[in-house]
């Protein structure tokens, strides 16, 4: 069921690439607490999306769904979880990357088909969604949402084949772009990943029987999963109680395209992807940054939270002490209350407080993971100066972002990106820092992948997209008809 409540306002939007989505699936032979297990899996993935959440459950015959706007803990009260009994479940926590932040786009999507119930949840973005959507409309399908996930759901529902795995295999070649997908049928959960491997997805064995699949390993670790393994690009994984089946549906792309931003910003620090711990990678980003762009200073501070490991790495490599300089209010961005004009003008000060005792009279190196539109960096520099910093040197743990992402990261359009319009020195002048420097592409890749330079997507820094994006639609491109 869906209650229509206002979606969370985000009047104090920060200058970061926005979260993507998190997907989770579980199948158990005993059916005890499957909805609760899914809840805790989504709770561990909350950082990937805070707009909405949903869980669909099947008992082998009938599927039930609850989804709504809001954080996982707000959407799933004990009363909401109680009816969600069964053996198999999928869940989703959402940030909108295709389609508006509207109730109609909350996932999972659940439909009845001639083959039984089907629910789908998706992390990623299809670049050919406009053409696929038009094809469905021309065939007489009615669309109720503006998300590419609904398009994928209807295509799967209409596909031919004796089993859901065959239907998935027949449908996959039509999808171009990023998808880590979980499906719920009457008696199983199916997970599938695109052949480029844009988005992470892993599978693990539950300690008391059954299997779970999740966007990140941190969710599987939360549940005590064993034998955790990455879902391979182009692979279909079927979870059915105590059984697991894996099959290659599509050959992996000749050159895989893991998203570098998962390492720089998105993934939780305790997650592991491609055999690399995210926290360790971020420390290495800071070390590389210190080697490339060292500067005499008295203290290194992070912009919390994702930049903390990088600041530790920068401090370790440079010998400059690390300390806290900014304290973050982690909840202001999710407020339902519109601030007054006076408070709005304070902007960043509502999200961050400066620790004067750690900054006064100091030359400060401030570490941040990215700079997109440049709307937060300037106010943060001013905040440090007001706290008494004598110099502020901003260091960014990735190269300048010059191109939009079309694979599930909301960075805005090319024209929104500060680095697409200004030189580094012009950006420095705009934000008021004493110096500004970005980690090089080579330095970032050394931190992420060591000696391996291939197999990663760096399109937002280089404009070299791993697949053709000419058909890609703006985030709100389908909003013209359904208001």
Q: What is the pLDDT of residues 419-461, one digit of tens each?
A: 999 999 999 999 999 999 999 999 999 999 987 778 999 999 9
For residue 33, the domain's CATH number is 3.60.20.10
Backbone angles phi, psi at 337, to 5 degrees: -100, 125
Task: Respond yes or no: is residue 21 known to be catalytic.
Answer: yes
Cα–Cα distance measured from residue 94 to residue 103, given in angstroms and rounded to the nearest whole number:
11
Q: pLDDT (tens digit, 9 = 90+) per residue, 43-79?
A: 999 999 988 999 999 999 999 999 999 999 999 999 9
Residue with token string 């996959």: 172
Give the domain extent around 164.
Answer: 21-257
At 375 the pLDDT is 82
Residues 61 and 187 occupy one common structural domain: yes
Question: DSSP of 65-79, one letter per residue?
Answer: EEEEES-HHHH--HH
Q: pLDDT (tens digit, 9 = 90+) per residue, 261-292?
A: 999 999 999 999 999 999 999 999 999 999 99
pLDDT class for 350, splitting at 50, 70, 90?
confident
Q: How many domains, the chain? A: 2
pLDDT class for 8, splitting at 50, 70, 90?
very low
For residue 440, the domain's CATH number is 3.40.50.2020
Q: What pTM did the predictor assign?
A: 0.90
Handedness of CA 154, 155, 156, 157 (dihedral sign): positive
Q: Measured in whole angstroms, how far is the alpha carbon of residue 319 from the centre of its chain?
A: 33
Q: Please state, in angstroms and as integers, the Cα–Cα distance from residue 361 to each residue in 273, 288, 314, 317, 388, following that order.
A: 41, 27, 21, 23, 6
At 481 the pLDDT is 53
DSSP designation for 307: T
Is 44 inside any structural domain? yes
Cα–Cα distance measured from residue 160 to residue 72, given in angstroms and rounded to the nearest whole number:
35
Cα–Cα distance measured from residue 191 to residue 184, given in angstroms and rounded to the nearest whole number:
9
- From the list 21, 259, 398, 457, the catalytic residue is 21
Residues 288 and 149 occupy one common structural domain: no
Do residues 318 and 364 make contact, with C-beta atoms less than 8 angstroms apart?
Answer: no
Four-CA torsion 396, 401, 406, 411, nearest 10 degrees: 70
Residues 290 and 365 occupy one common structural domain: yes
Q: pLDDT (tens digit, 9 = 90+) per residue, 71-105?
A: 999 999 999 999 999 999 999 998 754 444 468 89
Do residues 151 and 129 make contact, with C-beta atoms less than 8 angstroms apart?
Answer: yes
Residues 229 and 135 occupy one common structural domain: yes
Residues 291 and 240 occupy one common structural domain: no
Q: How many CA atoms lie within 13 A of 402 on its CB side?
A: 17
Q: What is the mean pLDDT of residues 175-197?
A: 97
Cα–Cα distance measured from residue 365 to residue 395, given in angstroms and rounded to the nearest whole number:
7
Cα–Cα distance measured from residue 165 to residue 51, given in angstroms and rounded to the nearest whole number:
31
Residues 310 and 244 occupy one common structural domain: no
Count of residues for the chain?
Answer: 483
- Most confident stretch, 304-308, 327-331, 374-378: 304-308
| pLDDT of 229 higher than 90 | yes
Residues 283 and 251 occupy one common structural domain: no
At 7 the pLDDT is 34
Cα–Cα distance measured from residue 307 to residue 200, given in angstroms and rounded to the nearest whole number:
21
Is 479 inside any structural domain? no
Cα–Cα distance measured from residue 368 to residue 317, given in angstroms and rounded to the nearest whole number:
16
């Amino acid at each position: 069921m869906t209650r229509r409540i206002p979606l969370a306002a985000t009047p104090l939007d920060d200058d970061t690439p926005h979260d993507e989505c998190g997907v989770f699936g579980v199948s158990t032979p005993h059916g005890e607490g499957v909805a609760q297990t899914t809840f805790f899996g989504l709770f561990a993935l909350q950082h990937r999306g805070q707009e909405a959440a949903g869980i669909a459950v099947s008992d082998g015959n009938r599927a039930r769904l609850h989804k709504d706007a809001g954080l996982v803990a707000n959407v799933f009260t004990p009363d909401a979880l109680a009816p969600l009994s069964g053996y198999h479940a999928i869940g989703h926590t959402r940030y909108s990357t295709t389609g508006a932040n509207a109730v109609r786009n909350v996932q999972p999507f659940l439909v009845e088909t001639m083959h039984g119930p089907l629910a789908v949840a998706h992390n990623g973005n299809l670049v050919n969604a406009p053409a696929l959507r038009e094809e469905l409309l021309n065939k007489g399908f009615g669309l109720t949402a503006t998300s590419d996930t609904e398009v994928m759901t209807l295509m799967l529902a209409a596909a031919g084949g004796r089993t859901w795995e065959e239907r998935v295999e027949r449908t996959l070649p039509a999808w171009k772009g990023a998808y880590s997908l979980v499906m719920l049928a009457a008696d199983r959960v199916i997970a599938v990943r695109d052949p480029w491997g844009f988005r992470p997805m892993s599978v693990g064995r539950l300690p008391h029987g059954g299997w779970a699949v999740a966007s990140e390993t941190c969710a599987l670790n939360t549940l005590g999963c064993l034998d955790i393994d990455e879902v391979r690009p182009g692979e279909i994984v079927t979870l059915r109680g105590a059984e697991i089946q894996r099959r290659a549906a599509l050959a992996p792309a000749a050159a895989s395209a893991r998203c570098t931003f998962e390492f720089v910003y998105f993934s939780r620090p305790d997650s592991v992807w491609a055999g690399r711990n995210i926290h360790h990678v971020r420390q290495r980003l800071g070390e590389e940054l210190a080697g490339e762009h060292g500067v005499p200073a008295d203290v290194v501070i992070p912009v919390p939270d994702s930049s903390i490991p990088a600041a530790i790495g920068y401090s370790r490599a440079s010998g400059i002490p690390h300390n806290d300089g900014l304290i973050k209010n982690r909840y202001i961005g999710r407020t339902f209350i519109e601030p007054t004009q006076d408070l709005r003008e304070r902007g960043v000060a509502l999200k961050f407080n400066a620790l004067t005792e750690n900054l006064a009279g100091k030359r400060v190196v401030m570490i941040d993971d990215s700079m997109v539109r440049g709307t937060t960096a300037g106010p943060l520099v001013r905040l440090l100066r007001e706290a008494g910093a004598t110099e502020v040197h901003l260091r960014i743990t990735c190269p300048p972002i010059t191109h939009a992402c079309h694979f599930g990261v909301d960075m805005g359009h090319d024209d929104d990106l500060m680095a697409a319009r200004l030189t580094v020195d012009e950006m420095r002048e705009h934000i008021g820092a004493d110096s500004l420097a970005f980690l090089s592409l080579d330095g970032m890749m050394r931190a992420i992948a060591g000696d391996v330079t291939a197999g990663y997507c760096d399109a937002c820094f280089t404009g070299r997209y791993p697949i053709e994006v000419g058909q890609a639609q703006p985030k709100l491109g389908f909003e013209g008809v359904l208001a």
